[in-house]
Homo-oligomer: A and B are copies of this chain.
Amino acid sequence: MGGDHGAEVVIPGAELSLIRHPDTRYILFGDEAVIKEELSKHKNLAAKSEIVHTDVAISMDAKPSQALRQGRWKSSMWKAIEAVRDGEAGAVISAGNTGALMAMAKFCLKTVPEIERPAIAAIWPTVDSECIVLDVGANVGADARQLVDFAMMGAAMARALFSQERPTVGLLNIGVEEVKGLEEVRKAGTALRECNPPFDYHGFIEGDDVGQGAVDVVVTEGFSGNIALKTAEGTAKQIAAYLRAAMSRSPMARVGAVLASGAFQALKEKMDPRQMNGGVFLGLNGIVIKSHGGTDATGFASAIDLGYDMAQSGLVDQLTGELEKFHASLNMENMSK
């Protein structure tokens, strides 16, 4: 029921993802009448879907505490998360209210042992490939220990999605020298250098290194991570606008643009934010994917694809085992605020 468009985006999106992953089964939570009507247009999906009717839907502007109070046990969002907790679903995908989704997911699924605060991880396109950036907004601020935990969680996700045994991990900072930047980041850097993590710790990176693909996993606290993510999205939109204006400024440029239209199409696909839609909540006993609320069916399908890949990867079990081993080896003294 979530997002700006509800079932009319979610259901066509599920149909699209089903074409790519025909072994997916769906449980659709929400208003049965609305779902049924939409589902009647998507016979393939209907054959693979089960509907769980709920009367309550969390509104997009509800505060997390309010959503928990009004929607716990009974809302579509809660029921969908519960299905993951109870092993009926491998992942939950929602385009709904982010704060409410995080609050309910924490309450229902609980964090994995040793993790205090879940993070939201985004897939970020790079020049040659892609990388993982976390936290992009679950928390404001993070102490050194939390940053180290984000590094562990991000590395586990990179291992699951990119099939890399030892992903490289960098800490986002405002200079690459050891003496620069936020104290928490410096402390986390020292801890990662001194311990023996199950990934390659690269050191500090700066904002312009993210898109260059300097590392597989970029670790930062949620305020700067969210600003970086949205700034990159804004810059991409801005350059697309420049490009459109440049290509229509003269008859010759317009002819050139027609001849190069295949190339522009490829570029457009490469820069399409819908391809990278889906924030992964990491650190919970279950897989929760947050789709952008304003996306369309193509974008929602990407978020489902991501949930599919994550569910296949066995990430949660792997992460739990690793975290216990890792924390035992880590010198956590003076790392929390």
Contacts and interface: CB of A to CB of B under 8 A. Distances in A.
Interface string A100-118: 0000000000000000000
A250 B262 contact: yes
A230 B208 CA distance: 5
B259 A253 contact: yes
A223, A249, A253, A270: which has the most chain B beta carbons within 10 Å? A223
Interface string A200-224: 0000001111111000000010111
A250 B260 CA distance: 9
B252 A127 contact: no
Interface string A220-264: 101110111111111111110111001101101101111111111
Interface stretch (A20-28, A79-87, A174-182): A174-182
Contacts of A267: 242-243, 246
A266 interface: yes
Contacts of A238: 125-127, 211-212
Given A174-B137, A222-B174, A237-B211, A246 B263 contact: yes
A182 B181 CA distance: 18
B253 A234 contact: no
Quick one: copies of this chain in the complex? Answer: 2
Interface residues of A, number: 60
A249 B263 contact: yes
A159 interface: no
A63 interface: yes
A172 interface: yes
A140 interface: yes
A205 to B, nearest CB: 10
Contacts of A206: 226-227, 230
B231 A260 contact: no
A271 interface: yes
Contacts of A241: 127
Contacts of A222: 174
Contacts of A261: 256
Interface string A39-50: 000000000000
Given A259-B252, A260-B252, A140 B182 contact: yes
A230, A250, A266: which has the most chain B beta carbons within 10 Å? A230
Contact of A253 (B212, B253, B263, B271): B263
25 contacts: A127-B238, A140-B181, A140-B182, A172-B227, A174-B227, A207-B228, A207-B230, A211-B231, A211-B237, A212-B234, A223-B224, A227-B227, A231-B231, A232-B234, A235-B239, A242-B267, A243-B243, A246-B270, A247-B263, A250-B263, A252-B259, A253-B262, A255-B256, A255-B259, A256-B258
Interface of A: 63, 125-127, 137, 140-141, 172, 174, 179, 181-182, 206-212, 220, 222-224, 226-239, 241-243, 246-247, 249-250, 252-253, 255-264, 266-267, 270-271
